[in-house]
Amino acid sequence: MLVVKAMFYAISILLMNAANAQHAAVATEQAAPMITIPAGIFIMGSNPIAAQASLPKSSLNKPMYADEYPRRTVHLKAYAIDQFEVTNRAYYAFVIAQNYLVPDTWQSNGYAFAPDTFINADLDQLKQLAQQVYKIEVRNLSRSQILKALIARRELLHNLPVTGVDWQDAHRYCAWLGKRLPTEAEWEKAARGTKGFEYPWGNQWDTKKANAAGGHGWEHGVAPVGSYKSGKSPYGVYDMAGNVMEWVEDWYQPYPSPNAPATTPNNLKQKIARGGSWGGIGHYTLSYFARSAQRFNLSPNARFNDLGFRCAQSLPALK
Protein backbone atom coordinates (compact mmCIF):
# COMPACT_ATOMS: atom_id res chain seq x y z
CA MET A 1 0.00 0.00 0.00
CA LEU A 2 2.93 2.35 0.64
CA VAL A 3 3.95 1.98 -3.00
CA VAL A 4 0.42 2.84 -4.15
CA LYS A 5 0.29 5.92 -1.93
CA ALA A 6 3.69 7.07 -3.15
CA MET A 7 2.52 6.70 -6.74
CA PHE A 8 -0.67 8.62 -5.93
CA TYR A 9 1.24 11.59 -4.54
CA ALA A 10 3.69 11.44 -7.43
CA ILE A 11 0.91 11.57 -10.00
CA SER A 12 -0.76 14.39 -8.05
CA ILE A 13 2.42 16.45 -8.39
CA LEU A 14 2.65 15.50 -12.06
CA LEU A 15 -0.92 16.69 -12.64
CA MET A 16 -0.22 19.97 -10.87
CA ASN A 17 2.59 20.69 -13.33
CA ALA A 18 0.94 19.48 -16.53
CA ALA A 19 -1.30 22.44 -17.28
CA ASN A 20 -1.66 23.50 -20.87
CA ALA A 21 -4.25 25.34 -22.94
CA GLN A 22 -5.17 22.20 -24.82
CA HIS A 23 -7.09 20.87 -21.84
CA ALA A 24 -9.51 23.81 -21.79
CA ALA A 25 -10.65 22.84 -25.29
CA VAL A 26 -10.82 19.18 -24.28
CA ALA A 27 -12.94 20.01 -21.25
CA THR A 28 -15.37 22.05 -23.34
CA GLU A 29 -15.86 19.05 -25.63
CA GLN A 30 -16.32 16.69 -22.69
CA ALA A 31 -18.62 18.95 -20.69
CA ALA A 32 -22.26 17.92 -20.49
CA PRO A 33 -24.64 19.23 -23.15
CA MET A 34 -26.94 21.90 -21.77
CA ILE A 35 -30.74 22.03 -21.72
CA THR A 36 -32.50 25.37 -22.11
CA ILE A 37 -35.17 25.97 -19.48
CA PRO A 38 -37.64 28.56 -20.80
CA ALA A 39 -38.68 31.63 -18.86
CA GLY A 40 -41.86 31.35 -16.83
CA ILE A 41 -43.34 30.27 -13.53
CA PHE A 42 -43.11 26.95 -11.72
CA ILE A 43 -44.24 25.52 -8.39
CA MET A 44 -41.51 25.58 -5.74
CA GLY A 45 -41.56 24.06 -2.26
CA SER A 46 -43.95 21.76 -0.41
CA ASN A 47 -47.49 22.07 0.88
CA PRO A 48 -47.76 23.01 4.60
CA ILE A 49 -50.47 20.35 5.05
CA ALA A 50 -48.02 17.63 4.03
CA ALA A 51 -45.43 19.11 6.36
CA GLN A 52 -47.80 19.24 9.33
CA ALA A 53 -48.88 15.68 8.71
CA SER A 54 -45.30 14.39 8.77
CA LEU A 55 -43.59 13.23 11.90
CA PRO A 56 -42.49 16.38 13.78
CA LYS A 57 -39.91 14.41 15.71
CA SER A 58 -37.54 11.87 14.26
CA SER A 59 -33.86 11.04 14.15
CA LEU A 60 -33.43 13.69 11.44
CA ASN A 61 -31.58 16.89 12.28
CA LYS A 62 -34.70 18.91 11.42
CA PRO A 63 -38.43 18.16 11.06
CA MET A 64 -39.45 16.72 7.71
CA TYR A 65 -40.53 19.38 5.17
CA ALA A 66 -39.81 22.13 7.73
CA ASP A 67 -37.72 24.26 5.41
CA GLU A 68 -39.62 23.57 2.17
CA TYR A 69 -42.70 25.78 2.53
CA PRO A 70 -44.57 27.92 1.85
CA ARG A 71 -45.24 26.27 -1.47
CA ARG A 72 -45.48 29.03 -4.04
CA THR A 73 -45.10 29.97 -7.69
CA VAL A 74 -41.78 31.47 -8.73
CA HIS A 75 -40.92 33.19 -12.01
CA LEU A 76 -37.48 32.64 -13.51
CA LYS A 77 -35.79 34.05 -16.57
CA ALA A 78 -34.65 31.58 -19.21
CA TYR A 79 -31.41 29.74 -18.40
CA ALA A 80 -29.50 26.62 -19.35
CA ILE A 81 -28.48 23.70 -17.14
CA ASP A 82 -26.23 20.68 -17.72
CA GLN A 83 -28.19 17.68 -18.93
CA PHE A 84 -25.94 15.39 -16.88
CA GLU A 85 -23.90 15.63 -13.71
CA VAL A 86 -20.25 16.64 -14.21
CA THR A 87 -18.20 13.51 -14.89
CA ASN A 88 -14.75 12.37 -13.83
CA ARG A 89 -13.57 12.79 -17.42
CA ALA A 90 -14.65 16.45 -17.62
CA TYR A 91 -13.32 17.32 -14.15
CA TYR A 92 -9.98 15.65 -14.92
CA ALA A 93 -9.27 18.17 -17.69
CA PHE A 94 -10.00 20.98 -15.22
CA VAL A 95 -7.63 19.50 -12.62
CA ILE A 96 -4.79 19.37 -15.14
CA ALA A 97 -5.37 22.74 -16.78
CA GLN A 98 -5.82 24.60 -13.50
CA ASN A 99 -3.19 22.81 -11.39
CA TYR A 100 -6.08 21.90 -9.14
CA LEU A 101 -6.40 19.46 -6.26
CA VAL A 102 -7.23 15.84 -7.05
CA PRO A 103 -10.44 14.62 -5.34
CA ASP A 104 -9.74 12.11 -2.59
CA THR A 105 -12.21 9.69 -4.16
CA TRP A 106 -9.86 9.35 -7.14
CA GLN A 107 -7.25 7.78 -4.89
CA SER A 108 -9.65 5.10 -3.70
CA ASN A 109 -11.22 4.34 -7.11
CA GLY A 110 -7.98 4.69 -9.08
CA TYR A 111 -8.99 7.51 -11.39
CA ALA A 112 -5.99 9.61 -10.35
CA PHE A 113 -3.69 7.14 -12.05
CA ALA A 114 -3.50 8.19 -15.69
CA PRO A 115 -2.46 5.64 -18.39
CA ASP A 116 1.01 7.23 -18.54
CA THR A 117 1.43 6.29 -14.88
CA PHE A 118 0.80 2.63 -15.72
CA ILE A 119 3.17 2.63 -18.68
CA ASN A 120 6.03 4.08 -16.63
CA ALA A 121 5.52 1.78 -13.64
CA ASP A 122 7.52 -1.38 -13.08
CA LEU A 123 5.87 -4.80 -12.81
CA ASP A 124 5.69 -4.84 -9.00
CA GLN A 125 4.03 -1.42 -8.94
CA LEU A 126 1.52 -2.51 -11.56
CA LYS A 127 0.64 -5.59 -9.55
CA GLN A 128 0.09 -3.55 -6.39
CA LEU A 129 -2.10 -1.06 -8.24
CA ALA A 130 -4.13 -3.82 -9.84
CA GLN A 131 -4.71 -5.72 -6.62
CA GLN A 132 -5.02 -2.95 -4.02
CA VAL A 133 -6.85 -0.25 -5.97
CA TYR A 134 -8.64 -1.94 -8.87
CA LYS A 135 -9.18 -5.35 -7.21
CA ILE A 136 -7.84 -7.23 -10.23
CA GLU A 137 -6.36 -10.70 -9.78
CA VAL A 138 -2.98 -10.62 -11.55
CA ARG A 139 -1.42 -13.94 -10.57
CA ASN A 140 -1.43 -15.40 -14.09
CA LEU A 141 -1.29 -12.16 -16.10
CA SER A 142 1.65 -10.79 -18.08
CA ARG A 143 2.74 -7.16 -17.82
CA SER A 144 0.93 -6.25 -21.04
CA GLN A 145 -2.23 -7.99 -19.84
CA ILE A 146 -2.09 -6.12 -16.52
CA LEU A 147 -1.63 -2.82 -18.39
CA LYS A 148 -4.62 -3.55 -20.61
CA ALA A 149 -6.78 -4.49 -17.62
CA LEU A 150 -5.79 -1.38 -15.65
CA ILE A 151 -6.55 0.98 -18.53
CA ALA A 152 -9.89 -0.74 -19.18
CA ARG A 153 -10.93 -0.48 -15.52
CA ARG A 154 -9.98 3.20 -15.37
CA GLU A 155 -11.97 3.93 -18.52
CA LEU A 156 -15.07 2.55 -16.80
CA LEU A 157 -14.79 5.50 -14.40
CA HIS A 158 -14.87 8.18 -17.13
CA ASN A 159 -18.64 8.63 -17.13
CA LEU A 160 -19.25 8.39 -13.41
CA PRO A 161 -20.15 11.72 -11.78
CA VAL A 162 -17.18 13.29 -10.04
CA THR A 163 -17.54 13.12 -6.25
CA GLY A 164 -15.53 14.19 -3.24
CA VAL A 165 -15.66 17.86 -4.28
CA ASP A 166 -16.64 20.71 -1.98
CA TRP A 167 -18.71 23.78 -2.89
CA GLN A 168 -15.67 25.86 -3.86
CA ASP A 169 -14.37 23.10 -6.14
CA ALA A 170 -17.71 22.97 -7.94
CA HIS A 171 -17.95 26.75 -8.15
CA ARG A 172 -14.46 27.06 -9.66
CA TYR A 173 -15.03 24.32 -12.22
CA CYS A 174 -18.21 25.95 -13.52
CA ALA A 175 -16.55 29.39 -13.63
CA TRP A 176 -13.63 27.93 -15.59
CA LEU A 177 -16.06 26.92 -18.33
CA GLY A 178 -17.83 30.28 -18.28
CA LYS A 179 -20.74 28.80 -16.36
CA ARG A 180 -21.92 28.87 -12.74
CA LEU A 181 -23.69 26.68 -10.23
CA PRO A 182 -27.48 26.71 -10.61
CA THR A 183 -29.51 28.64 -8.06
CA GLU A 184 -31.74 26.60 -5.82
CA ALA A 185 -34.81 27.74 -7.74
CA GLU A 186 -33.23 26.94 -11.11
CA TRP A 187 -32.30 23.45 -9.96
CA GLU A 188 -35.80 22.77 -8.67
CA LYS A 189 -37.54 24.01 -11.82
CA ALA A 190 -35.29 21.88 -14.02
CA ALA A 191 -36.17 18.86 -11.84
CA ARG A 192 -39.92 19.35 -11.37
CA GLY A 193 -41.11 21.11 -14.49
CA THR A 194 -44.04 23.52 -14.18
CA LYS A 195 -46.48 21.11 -12.50
CA GLY A 196 -44.62 20.73 -9.22
CA PHE A 197 -43.92 17.00 -9.46
CA GLU A 198 -42.64 15.31 -6.30
CA TYR A 199 -40.02 13.49 -8.38
CA PRO A 200 -38.63 14.35 -11.80
CA TRP A 201 -40.93 11.81 -13.51
CA GLY A 202 -44.13 12.44 -11.52
CA ASN A 203 -45.68 12.14 -8.07
CA GLN A 204 -45.22 8.42 -7.39
CA TRP A 205 -41.92 6.98 -6.22
CA ASP A 206 -40.43 4.35 -8.57
CA THR A 207 -37.22 2.58 -7.53
CA LYS A 208 -36.45 1.71 -11.17
CA LYS A 209 -36.18 5.35 -12.24
CA ALA A 210 -33.35 6.52 -10.01
CA ASN A 211 -30.16 5.26 -8.40
CA ALA A 212 -31.39 6.02 -4.90
CA ALA A 213 -32.73 4.56 -1.63
CA GLY A 214 -29.67 2.39 -1.06
CA GLY A 215 -28.48 2.17 -4.65
CA HIS A 216 -28.77 -0.49 -7.34
CA GLY A 217 -25.53 -2.33 -6.72
CA TRP A 218 -23.24 -0.28 -8.95
CA GLU A 219 -19.61 -1.10 -8.16
CA HIS A 220 -18.77 2.39 -6.88
CA GLY A 221 -22.28 3.23 -5.68
CA VAL A 222 -22.76 5.90 -8.33
CA ALA A 223 -24.04 5.03 -11.80
CA PRO A 224 -22.71 6.35 -15.12
CA VAL A 225 -24.51 9.60 -15.89
CA GLY A 226 -27.65 9.18 -17.98
CA SER A 227 -28.24 5.55 -16.94
CA TYR A 228 -31.87 6.17 -15.92
CA LYS A 229 -33.62 7.47 -19.03
CA SER A 230 -37.09 6.80 -17.62
CA GLY A 231 -36.28 9.01 -14.63
CA LYS A 232 -35.36 12.17 -16.51
CA SER A 233 -37.17 15.42 -15.72
CA PRO A 234 -39.91 17.03 -17.87
CA TYR A 235 -37.17 19.09 -19.54
CA GLY A 236 -34.99 16.05 -20.25
CA VAL A 237 -32.46 16.57 -17.44
CA TYR A 238 -31.02 13.32 -16.06
CA ASP A 239 -30.26 12.06 -12.54
CA MET A 240 -31.96 14.83 -10.59
CA ALA A 241 -33.19 12.21 -8.15
CA GLY A 242 -30.46 10.06 -6.61
CA ASN A 243 -27.01 9.15 -7.94
CA VAL A 244 -25.21 12.09 -6.27
CA MET A 245 -26.38 15.05 -4.23
CA GLU A 246 -25.66 18.23 -6.16
CA TRP A 247 -24.27 21.54 -4.94
CA VAL A 248 -26.26 24.66 -5.80
CA GLU A 249 -25.28 28.30 -5.49
CA ASP A 250 -27.39 29.41 -2.53
CA TRP A 251 -26.64 29.73 1.14
CA TYR A 252 -29.04 27.74 3.32
CA GLN A 253 -31.78 29.81 4.97
CA PRO A 254 -35.57 29.68 5.43
CA TYR A 255 -37.75 30.56 2.47
CA PRO A 256 -38.91 34.18 2.70
CA SER A 257 -42.37 34.30 4.29
CA PRO A 258 -43.88 35.69 7.49
CA ASN A 259 -45.60 32.32 7.96
CA ALA A 260 -42.54 30.16 7.38
CA PRO A 261 -41.94 27.44 10.02
CA ALA A 262 -39.33 27.97 12.67
CA THR A 263 -35.96 27.15 11.14
CA THR A 264 -32.88 28.27 12.98
CA PRO A 265 -30.94 30.76 10.83
CA ASN A 266 -27.33 29.70 10.34
CA ASN A 267 -25.92 33.15 9.53
CA LEU A 268 -25.16 31.94 6.02
CA LYS A 269 -22.66 29.32 7.12
CA GLN A 270 -24.01 26.39 5.12
CA LYS A 271 -24.71 25.71 1.46
CA ILE A 272 -27.44 23.61 -0.11
CA ALA A 273 -27.26 20.27 -1.91
CA ARG A 274 -30.20 18.95 -3.90
CA GLY A 275 -31.50 15.69 -5.33
CA GLY A 276 -30.51 13.04 -2.81
CA SER A 277 -27.93 10.36 -3.57
CA TRP A 278 -27.49 6.67 -4.35
CA GLY A 279 -26.71 5.51 -0.85
CA GLY A 280 -26.97 6.18 2.80
CA ILE A 281 -27.98 4.15 5.81
CA GLY A 282 -31.06 4.13 8.00
CA HIS A 283 -33.50 6.93 7.22
CA TYR A 284 -31.22 8.31 4.50
CA THR A 285 -32.40 5.47 2.23
CA LEU A 286 -35.97 6.86 2.28
CA SER A 287 -37.38 8.13 -1.00
CA TYR A 288 -38.13 11.35 0.94
CA PHE A 289 -34.54 12.44 0.29
CA ALA A 290 -34.87 12.03 -3.49
CA ARG A 291 -37.79 14.45 -3.80
CA SER A 292 -37.22 17.49 -5.99
CA ALA A 293 -38.21 19.94 -3.22
CA GLN A 294 -35.97 18.40 -0.55
CA ARG A 295 -33.21 20.69 0.78
CA PHE A 296 -30.02 19.35 2.36
CA ASN A 297 -27.77 21.78 4.19
CA LEU A 298 -24.02 21.20 4.37
CA SER A 299 -20.83 22.99 5.24
CA PRO A 300 -19.36 24.39 2.01
CA ASN A 301 -16.20 22.43 2.91
CA ALA A 302 -18.03 19.07 2.88
CA ARG A 303 -16.69 16.35 0.61
CA PHE A 304 -18.48 13.01 0.29
CA ASN A 305 -18.42 10.07 -2.10
CA ASP A 306 -22.05 10.77 -3.02
CA LEU A 307 -21.78 14.54 -3.48
CA GLY A 308 -21.20 16.13 -6.89
CA PHE A 309 -22.69 18.89 -9.03
CA ARG A 310 -23.79 20.18 -12.41
CA CYS A 311 -23.45 23.66 -13.94
CA ALA A 312 -25.90 26.26 -15.21
CA GLN A 313 -25.62 29.32 -17.40
CA SER A 314 -27.56 32.57 -17.74
CA LEU A 315 -28.98 33.26 -21.19
CA PRO A 316 -28.97 36.64 -22.90
CA ALA A 317 -32.33 38.38 -22.80
CA LEU A 318 -34.24 38.21 -26.07
CA LYS A 319 -34.91 41.56 -27.72
193 in any annotated domain: yes
Regarding whether 297 and 185 lie in a shared domain, the answer is yes
Kindly state whether residues 35 and 86 are assigned to the same domain: yes
Domain end among 122, 155, 188: 155
CATH number (domain holding residue 171): 3.90.1580.10
The pLDDT assigned to 255 comes to 85
Q: Using alpha carbons, select from 280, 206, 194, 195 the residue that is nearest to residue 241.
A: 206
Domain that holds residue 65: 31-97+160-314
Per-residue pLDDT of the chain (319 residues; tens, 9 = 90+): 544 554 544 444 344 444 444 455 555 566 779 999 999 999 999 986 665 555 444 566 677 887 898 899 999 999 999 999 999 999 999 999 999 999 999 988 999 988 888 888 888 889 998 999 998 998 889 999 999 999 999 999 999 999 999 999 999 999 999 999 999 999 999 999 999 999 999 999 999 999 998 888 899 999 999 999 999 999 999 999 999 999 999 999 988 765 555 455 556 799 999 999 998 665 567 888 999 999 999 999 999 999 999 999 999 865 4
Give a yes or no: residue 26 inside a domain. no
Question: Residues 296, 202: one domain?
Answer: yes
Question: Domain check: are 183 and 224 in the same one?
Answer: yes
Output the pLDDT for position 222: 95
177 and 129 in a common domain: no
Domain final position from 123, 155, 187 = 155
264 and 303 share one domain: yes
pLDDT for the residue numbered 216: 87
- Residue 105 lies inside a defined structural domain of this protein: no
H-run or E-run covering 247: strand 245-251
2-10 LR contacts (CB < 8 Å, sep 24+): 3/124, 3/125, 3/128, 4/128, 4/129, 4/132, 4/133, 7/113, 7/117, 7/121, 7/125, 7/129, 8/107, 8/112, 8/113
Residues 128 and 45 reside in one and the same domain: no
185 with 309, same domain: the answer is yes
Alpha helices in 2-114 (DSSP H): 2-16, 22-30, 48-53, 88-97, 105-109
Same domain, 242 and 294: yes
Q: Please answer whether residues 312 and 179 qualify as being in contact, where contact means their C-beta atoms are separated by less than 8 angstroms.
A: yes
Yes or no: say if 125 and 7 are a contact pair by the CB < 8 Å rule.
yes
Domain count, the chain: 2
Same domain, 47 and 144: no
Mark whether 310 and 194 lie in a shared domain.
yes
User: Residue 25 falls within a domain, yes or no?
Assistant: no
DSSP SS3 for 34: strand
**Euclidean distance between CA atoms 313 and 36, whole angstroms:** 9
d(C-alpha 210, C-alpha 239), whole Å? 7
- What's residue 256's pLDDT? 75
Shared domain for 146 and 227, answered yes or no, is no
The answer to whether residue 247 is domain-embedded is yes
Flag whether 22 is in a domain: no
Would 107 be classed as within a structural domain? no
**Residue-level pLDDT at 118:** 86
CB 222 within 8 A of CB 163: yes
Q: Is residue 296 part of a domain?
A: yes
